[in-house]
Amino acid sequence: MSGPAGCDLCRGTEDPKPNRIGGLDLCRRCYDGGAVAAAHARGFGLWVKLSAIGTDNPIFLVRGTASVPRPLFNASFRRKGPRSLLAAMFGMTLRVQDPLFHELGVIVTRDKARTRRFIEADAAQSAVMDLLGEDVSVTVREGGQIQVSGARKHDPFDQSAIERELAVLLVHLDGYAP
């Protein structure tokens, strides 16, 4: 018989029924708004800001930065669009086997070998897809910096969801071995 389920973000063990997100188990505290504090406690940087432009037909924006204390790779994960078509023309896209991921987004990188090592893990791919599903693009830099950004016209972003999904991605990035 196994022990109690643990939270993969704060590493607590008090929640008998964790929530599964991005391939990781999160306790209720981390899932319900405590993801930033848990990420900071692990030594990760995480900051997300929401805003809106206009009043009659506002455009909702999200911007954020995060970091992990380790070397990573250079890549952008974004929803498909005109910019991703241009990147494909220059041979800067990386294709994954998952057709759902391929329908949802695109990976733009010149660092294909290291990016592939990261994104081929199902859980890491799930974490990236969660953010893409929120209309948020993710840029990862070799020095351990991560930027997120997004814009949409109809619904405001859910800051807690983006913070939670970004914290999950940070756990996956922290486990990446170049």
Q: How many CB atoms lie within 10 A of CB 34?
A: 22
Number of domains comprising the chain = 1
Q: For residue 154, tell me if it sits in a domain.
A: yes
Task: Please report the pLDDT score of residue 3 as a whole number.
Answer: 44
Q: For residue 145, tell me if it sits in a domain.
A: yes
Give the H or E element holding residue 76.
Answer: strand 75-79
Q: For residue 78, tell me if it sits in a domain.
A: yes
Mark out the alpha helices in 13-121 (DSSP H runs): 28-29, 35-41, 82-89, 99-104, 112-119
Task: Please report the pLDDT score of residue 91 as a whole number.
Answer: 57
Task: Please report the pLDDT score of residue 1 as a whole number.
Answer: 32
Q: For residue 4, tell me if it sits in a domain.
A: no
| Residue 162 belongs to domain spanning | 44-174
Identify which of 16, 4, 20, 43 has the alpha carbon closest to the alpha carbon of residue 171. 43
Tell me the three state secondary structure of residue 149.
strand
Q: For residue 6, tell me if it sits in a domain.
A: no
* Residues 31, 14 contacting (CB under 8 angstroms): no
Q: For residue 152, tell me if it sits in a domain.
A: yes
pLDDT means per 10 residues, the chain with 178 residues, are 70 83 94 96 97 91 95 91 60 78 87 92 94 95 96 92 97 89
